[in-house]
Amino acid sequence: MKRKFLSILGFAFVCRMQAFSQTSSDSSLFKTKPVSLYTPVELDTANKTSYNPHRLRIDEIDFVSSYYSQTGDHSPVTGGIGTQQVTDFSNGINLNMVWLNDANNKNTLTAGLGYDHHSSASAAYVALNGGAKTGGTRLYPSLDWTIENSKTGGTFGIGASYSGEFNYKSKELDLHWSKKTDDKNGEFGLKLQGYFDRVTMILPSEFVPATPVSQPGTTVITTASGNTEVLSSGGQVISNSKNSLPTSERNTFTAAFSYTQQINSRLQVMFLGDLVEQNGYLGLPFHRVYFNTGKDTIEKLPSSRFKLPVGMRLNYFLGDNIILRAYYRYYMDSWGIRSNTAGLEMPVKITPFFSISPFYRYYDQTAARYFAPYEVHSPTDEYYTSNYEYSDFQSSFYGIGFRLAPPNGVFGWQNLHDLEIRYGHYAQTTDLVSDVVSISLGFK
Amino acid sequence: MLDNLHKMIKQTGKILAGLILIASATSCVHLKEYQKSRLNDSEMALTNRKVEKNELNFQSYEEAASGANAGKTGGGCGCN
């Protein structure tokens, strides 16, 4: 009897469970929560748009900061002699936003903002008495939009940027395009850029035209940056006026070509070639040149320059932990400069997420045909400069970088996915020496 | 001026021919996506590192050569 009773009870329970399983979810049976130690994760079914690849979202934020310090004894402000001491603190942020359009093409919008503050000892000597301002700031925002077609492997984008500092303003526009080969192992790239710059004509103080004295007994002081002060015979400021300085234009047009090829599972190469044409005022108005007569003037350079750099990158995965990153560039231009640049960086993966990268870069160049040192140019020369940027020299740049990119975030901070620190020491045979330390943070 | 340009184009042609020779001498293998795990490593990217950005700026101010490195070829003064 007891066995029959338990059988009927069990059958009734199974039937009830069966009926329960076929009840619709809006049944009143679901309105009372079952008693359980397990708490189910409640899905946000009301907000079905919580993940929508078509909606604009922030993909990555990059922050790069650098401190640069330089010394040397060939400043062009003082005609190829004098201090080249410079310090610069640079900071830049890039915000990458992505979304898919109706055709499921990936769109990327990158907004960037950079801010530099520099101090240049030679800038003081724009005024002959060494009293000009030595500090300056530069602000440079940028915007780029790129659309990528995943079916064809092609991308197209447009960009614009601006760079503004006291004596130099630059506007840039670009168009870029790339296309993968049919087997997706190669990619062609083309970037067309135009820079439209304005150089403020700040002359060395001895070349600033003197302002005529309107009242007897007064003194007029005109600074290189255009400020005019009228002082009384007692030295008191009677009036102070700011005159806008004239500007000259400088345009740069670039067509940059690239081709990338994956050779095998460990080796890939990239060929690069640019065609660059510059025109306008290509010198700087406060760079002095001292002739062999002892008289000084302002550097004079041709109003056009054609540059032709070609280069190659080669990256090879050696074994399981070492990568070789090699770079070579040959450069020539219409001012007679020929240059070689060769670089090798060797990231060593200590763990899959931490690498140490020593690097070395060699650079050499021949002199431009318009360069001569202090008091060597003749007044009969057509063009002249004593800027050691255009001299014959070699340079070495070496240092080390560290990269940390653990899957659970740097120092356990999930949003900080990537941290890089890099130090480099640079030395030219002109005795210019500099050090630069940089940090890069990538947030997702 | 034209002679210089002509010489430059001839020299560039020789360099490009050399680079193409190197590329063609290295036999390319058709790679499947699953064979690209090493090539897709972030350290293998054929670009400048983000942390190098300001270094490239300083070099372009102190050296006459620029370009062919995905860096800038104009803009900004670098006056010192």
DSSP three-state, residue B10 = helix
Residues 311-350 of A with CB under 8 A from B: 311-313, 315, 317, 323, 325, 327, 329-337, 339, 341, 347, 349
Residue in this structure with the two tokens 């101010």, named with its chain if needed: B61
* A25 Cα distance to chain centroid: 57
Specify the pLDDT at position B24. 56
Domain, as residue range, for B45: 36-61
Specify the pLDDT at position A122. 86
A185 touches chain B (CB under 8 A): yes
B34-41 — which CB contacts under 8 Å span 24+ positions?
Answer: B35/A265, B36/A262, B36/A265, B37/A265, B38/A265, B38/A266, B38/A317, B39/A262, B39/A265, B39/A266, B39/A268, B39/A317, B41/A317, B41/A323
Q: Hey, of A138, A253, A263, A277, which one would you mutate to test binding to chain B, going by the most B CBs within 10 A of its CB? A: A263
Distance CA(A256)–CA(A271), nearest Å, equals 11
Residue B77 within a domain: no
Residue B10 within a domain: no
Answer for the pair A119, A135: CB distance below 8 angstroms, yes or no.
yes
Alpha-carbon torsion (B70, B71, B72, B73), positive or negative? negative
Specify the pLDDT at position B22. 63
User: Which pLDDT tens digit goes with each residue over B11-59?
Assistant: 666 665 666 556 555 567 788 888 888 898 889 999 999 999 889 888 9
Q: Domain limits of chain A?
A: 54-202+245-443, 208-244
* B71 Cα distance to chain centroid: 9
- CATH code for residues A54-202+245-443: 2.40.160.40
Specify the pLDDT at position A23. 43
Specify the pLDDT at position A271. 96
Specify the pLDDT at position B9. 56
DSSP three-state, residue B49 = coil
Instruction: Kindly state the helix (H) or strand (E) to which residue A171 belongs, with its residue range.
Output: strand A168-180
Distance CA(A82)–CA(A103), nearest Å, equals 61
Distance CA(A267)–CA(B8), nearest Å, equals 31
**Mind spelling out the 3-state secondary structure of chain A?**
CHHHHHHHHHHHHHHHHHHHHCCCCCCHHHHCCCCCCCCCCCCCCCCCCCCCCCCCEEEEEEEEEEEEEEECCECHHHCCCECCCEEEEEEEEEEEEEEECCCCCEEEEEEEEEEEEEEEHHHHHHCCCCCCCCEEEEEEEEEEEEEEECCCCEEEEEEEEEEEECCEEEEEEEEEEEEECCCCCEEEEEEEEEEEEEEECCCCHHHCCCCCCCCCCCEEEECCCCEEEEECCCCCEEEEEECCCCEEEEEEEEEEEEEEEECCCCEEEEEEEEEEEEEECCCCCCCEEEECCCCEEECECCCEEEEEEEEEEEEEEECCCEEEEEEEEEEEECCCCEEEEEEEECCEEEECCEEEEEEEEEEEECCCCCECCCCCECCCCCCEECCHHHCCEEEEEEEEEEEECCCCCECCECCEEEEEEEEEEEEECCCCEEEEEEEEEEEC
Kindly report the nearest CA distance between residue B62 and chain A, in angstroms.
5
Select from B9, B51, B67 the Cβ nearest to the Cβ of A420: B51
User: Which pLDDT tens digit goes with each residue over A306-344?
Assistant: 999 999 999 999 989 999 999 999 999 999 999 999 999
Burial A302-340 (b: 16+ CB within 10 A, else e): beebbbbbbbbbbbbbeeeeebbbebbbbbbbbbebbbe
| Greatest CA separation for chain B | 52
Residue B26 within a domain: no
Answer for the pair A363, A372: CB distance below 8 angstroms, yes or no.
no
Answer for the pair A379, A291: CB distance below 8 angstroms, yes or no.
yes
Specify the pLDDT at position A151. 84
pLDDT tens digits in sequence order for chain A, 444 residues long: 455 545 554 544 444 444 444 444 444 444 444 444 444 445 555 555 556 777 888 999 999 999 999 999 999 999 999 999 999 999 999 999 999 988 889 999 999 999 999 998 988 888 888 888 888 899 999 999 999 998 888 999 999 999 999 889 999 999 999 999 988 899 999 999 999 999 999 999 888 877 666 666 666 666 656 666 666 777 677 777 677 889 999 999 999 999 999 999 999 999 999 999 999 999 999 999 999 999 999 999 999 999 999 999 999 999 899 999 999 999 999 999 999 999 999 999 999 999 999 999 999 999 999 999 999 999 999 999 999 999 999 999 999 999 999 999 998 888 999 999 999 999 999 999 999 999 999 998
Q: Which of A334, A332, A337, A333 is nearest to A387 (CA)?
A: A337
Distances (CA, A) of B45 to A263, A294, A323: 14, 53, 11
Kindly report the nearest CA distance between residue B2 and chain A, in angstroms.
9
Kindly report the nearest CA distance between residue B27 and chain A, in angstroms.
7
Distance CA(B73)–CA(A157), nearest Å, equals 19
Phi, psi of A203 (to 5 degrees): -95, 155
**Model-level ipTM above the cut of 0.95:** no
List beta partners, residue B34: none
Residues 205-244 of A with CB under 8 A from B: none
Answer for the pair B74, A174: CB distance below 8 angstroms, yes or no.
no
Distance CA(A224)–CA(A213), nearest Å, equals 18
Residue B52 within a domain: yes
- What does pTM read for this prediction? 0.81
Measured between beta carbons, the chain A residues lying within 8 angstroms of B17 are: none
Mean pLDDT in chain B?
A: 74
Report the number of distinct structural domains present in chain B.
1
Length of chain B, please? 80
Query: Which ranges of chain B does DSSP label H, i.e. alpha helix?
Result: 2-25, 53-62
Specify the pLDDT at position A125. 86
Specify the pLDDT at position A227. 67
Kindly report the nearest CA distance between residue B3 and chain A, in angstroms.
10
List beta partners, residue A220: A230
Residue B10 in this model has a pLDDT that exceeds 90? no
